[in-house]
């Protein structure tokens, strides 16, 4: 099972105050909307440390490409929209002290909403095609409107 979100500071304070006023653990848990074990652990933390502030740090590695790096990446992509990820990664690494992989560049581009697209192959219209299409439109479309 996943970990539930942390209780707000207000709820934690409410637990401490209610417990100090003599409320039962079950009533407090029902009042706040959390488990009994959460009430116990929060009150114990307050008893030992005198505070219920959460000091949990972020998890995982820090991102290699921060906000400034994202702006630079977007500028590189705008300058050459047809460039491959490998080429973009080379340009990003050329002017930076941090070296990022193609994988990192690719995922940041996806996060920024820049997805690769493959153009649809359509035949070029010649003057003959245009003429036939216009002729068809003059002949067929009015009769279709009559049917509606």
pLDDT in tens, 15-32: 999 999 999 999 999 999
Asked if residue 2 has pLDDT above 50, the reply is: no
Tokens of 66: 């921060």
Q: 49-94 pLDDT, tens per residue?
A: 888 877 667 778 888 888 988 999 999 999 988 888 999 999 989 8
Residues 6+ positions from 18 with CB-CB distance below 8 Å: 27, 28, 31
Output DSSP code: residue 65: S
List the chain domain ranges: 9-49, 67-111
Q: What is the pTM of this model?
A: 0.45
36: CB partners within 8 A, 6+ apart: 25, 26, 29
């Amino acid at each position: 099972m996943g970990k539930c979100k942390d209780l707000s500071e207000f709820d934690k304070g409410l637990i401490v105050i209610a417990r100090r006023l003599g409320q039962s653990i079950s009533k407090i848990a029902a009042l706040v909307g959390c488990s009994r074990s959460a009430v116990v652990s929060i009150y114990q933390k307050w008893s030992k440390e005198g505070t219920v502030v959460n000091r949990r740090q972020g998890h995982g590695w820090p991102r290699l490409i921060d906000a400034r790096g994202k702006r630079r990446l977007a500028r590189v992509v705008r300058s050459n929209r047809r460039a491959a990820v490998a080429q973009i990664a080379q340009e990003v690494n050329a002017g930076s002290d941090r070296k990022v992989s193609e994988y990192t560049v690719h995922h940041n581009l996806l996060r920024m909403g820049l997805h690769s697209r493959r153009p649809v192959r359509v035949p070029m219209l010649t003057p003959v095609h245009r003429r036939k299409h216009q002729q068809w439109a003059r002949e067929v479309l009015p009769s279709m409107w009559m049917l509606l």
